[in-house]
Structure 1
Amino acid sequence: MVDPGTAAIVGGVGAVVAAPVLLGAAGFTAAGIAAGSIGAKMMSAAAVANGGGVAAGSVVAVLQAAGAAGLSGATAAVAGTGAVLGWAASWIV
């Protein structure tokens, strides 16, 4: 059985590593949303629902911002720190 702390750390690191790959696969790229992708379909649905535009802060907008920016080393460090703090909190609670 895996220690909950180890699982939290591995999960946090795995999410940071997988996020850019998954965002790109869904069509959220640094160059914009790829035509014909899942991201394009999401953007189209969001635009229709909002009368022609994608609302700032919406799921599509956040995913596109993450896809365009990528995940930096600082983001990875913050995620790793969060995993460690989550593990530490699990021992307190």
Structure 2
Amino acid sequence: MGLLIGAALGAGAVGTVVGAPFVLAAVGFTSAGIAAGSLAASMMSASAVASGGGVVAGGAVAVCQSIGAVGLSGATAAVSGSMGLLLGLII
């Protein structure tokens, strides 16, 4: 049982770090910017309307676009891996 739990935790951690950039690109957060007509564009529009015309620096849309543009930084990868680790623990 211990090996199975360890494998689930490891898979969750690695999966989120490796998969996050691919998932973000698939929904429209690309290295060239937010793709027109995508889910990311809808999120950006909603964020801009909610904040009075601009996307909030450090908000969810800005963070997702940053990751989509340049990938995960060391700190972000650590946080993402930790979240995946917790998800593996829950599952």
Instruction: Please classify the TM superposition score into its range, dividing by the shorter chain length.
Output: 0.7 to 0.9
Q: In structure 1, what is the equivalent of residue 48 of structure 2?
A: 47
State the match for 1:28 in structure 2: 29
Aligned to 2:52, the other structure's residue is in SS state coil
CA RMSD of aligned residues (A): 2.9
Change (3 A) 1:78 1:50: closer
Q: How far has the Cα of 1:3 moved from its partner? A: 2.3
Matches within 5 A, 1:1-93: 3-71=4-72, 78=78
Q: Distance in 1 between matches of 2:62 and 2:53?
A: 14
Q: How many angstroms apart in 2 are the aligned matches of 1:82 and 1:56?
A: 24
Cα drift, residue 71 of structure 1: 3.4
Q: How many residues align?
A: 84
Deviation (angstroms), 1:43: 0.2
Identity %: 55
Q: Structure 1 residues 50, 78: closer, same or farther in 2, change over 3 A?
A: closer
| TM-score using structure 2 length | 0.75
TM-score by length of 1: 0.73
Larger radius of gyration: 1
User: Structure with the greater relative contact order (CA < 8 A, sep ≥ 6): 1 or 2?
Assistant: 2
Unaligned runs of 5+ in 2: none
- Gap runs ≥5 in structure 1: none
